[in-house]
Structure 1
Amino acid sequence: MTSRTPWFSETGVGEELLLLHPGGTDSTATAPLSAQLPDYRRLLVDRPGHGRSPDVDGAWSFTQMAEAVAQVLETHTTPAHIVGWSDGAIVGLHLALRRPELVRSLVFGGAAFHRSGWLDGVLEGEPPEFMREAYAAISPDGGQHWPVVVQKAQQLHHREPDLSTQDLLRLRLPVLIVVGDDDQVRWPHLIEMLEALPDGELAVIPRATHGAIVEKPGLLAPLIREFHQPEPENGLAPIRRHG
């Protein structure tokens, strides 16, 4: 297996919006949210080893995945808004840090910037059967490669993400942190991230879990549109954004 540009699709017209799916899934997981954002030019990507993109040799890393996504964005003339969920959010964060010229803004959904930010036990155990079936149905590597993908993902999550608040301080673009109110990330970790970001915002989706991207796309979409407004309001009595 060799590195190549991952599978992607483009739909609509307007500002570029790249949607990055969670781990263990493919871009179909972002389709419900994409459908709520018809006023953008939406790019859906299957990262290497996911969906319609073949696996790559060796272990996975979020840096490697960000580089693969960058290959897609390099074919476009303008930087894109990034919306990522779970592993997709971490990929988007690495992309913003490594290739800021390709990124206008980042929605960081349902994720941690360091592996210590996950709640205990949420990354343990085997993926559900429906993920294996979905992978086998479309992967160019065939269903027999699924155990390899699961093992690579488990090894990745034991090592990464391993970013720091010093890394977050280097970001010079708007970042919206989004989580479900019953998500898999520690609340103090999210606050630490918010306080470290030079231009950060935080939104909590009510009655939503780690699957908020498919549970509540109708709530996520207007948050994203509001976040992308060129001159955002700071409210009547700003404290963190005062001055």
Structure 2
Amino acid sequence: MTQLTKGANVAVPSDAVNIVVTWTAAPQAPTVDLSTLLVTATGKVRDDSDFVFYNAPQHASGAVRLGPSSPGSASVEAHLTGVEDVVERIVVVLSADGGPFSQVPGLTVRVDDATSGQVVAQFGDMGATSETALVAGELYRRAGAWKFRAVGQGWDSGLAGLATDFGISVDDAPEQPSSSTAPAATPASAPAPAPALRPAEPSQGEQPGSDTSQPYAAPVSPTPAPLQPPQQPSAPQQAPLQPPHQPQAPL
């Protein structure tokens, strides 16, 4: 078994692997969920169907699916021969509910050979602090073979922020009240609700694990200046008329 540090990688010896995440479950510790993103060369997913999580536990290709989970353990199964050619990375994502990852004791990611059951590699020192979502590691293609890389990159913006950075559509717009409960009048100064967040267009060569993208804020329309009546040109000033010069009589 290979002990990995952040950024290190190891060759995957089998076409079928299990990525197993373990931690010490405690009454006051946050709940940890595992999900995966199937990412192309753009560094983003093709669409929302490339996000495998508890509400969509298996990818349409059948190559990636969530495995068994229990308090203190979660897993994902990857059958690498079935992964579509356009997919270059299978990103292993963890999210914490109820606190940051600094409050999750004993967090460890393990790579198991699904055929033999042998432990291939283990990664345990992620250095997480205030993050509530992180990329624990990723399976990726290199020269026709698959490898696993220990990543440990965190997001303070939670799973929604992480997913948005990888191209997932996130709708955070607040619900509108029904007409029966709506207030009689809305002050003119009340701000309009922000629109649903949409991810940025994918840029070529973007690397996974980057958290530099910022969510789009609601556009603010500038307030037009009040119309002013055109200024009337002032009449030119005329010099006062002088009486004609009278010649003096000779003395």
TM-score, structure 1 as length reference:
0.20
Larger radius of gyration: 2
More strand as a share of residues: 2
More helix as a share of residues: 1
TM-score, structure 2 as length reference:
0.20
Larger RCO (CA under 8 A, 6+ residues apart) = 2
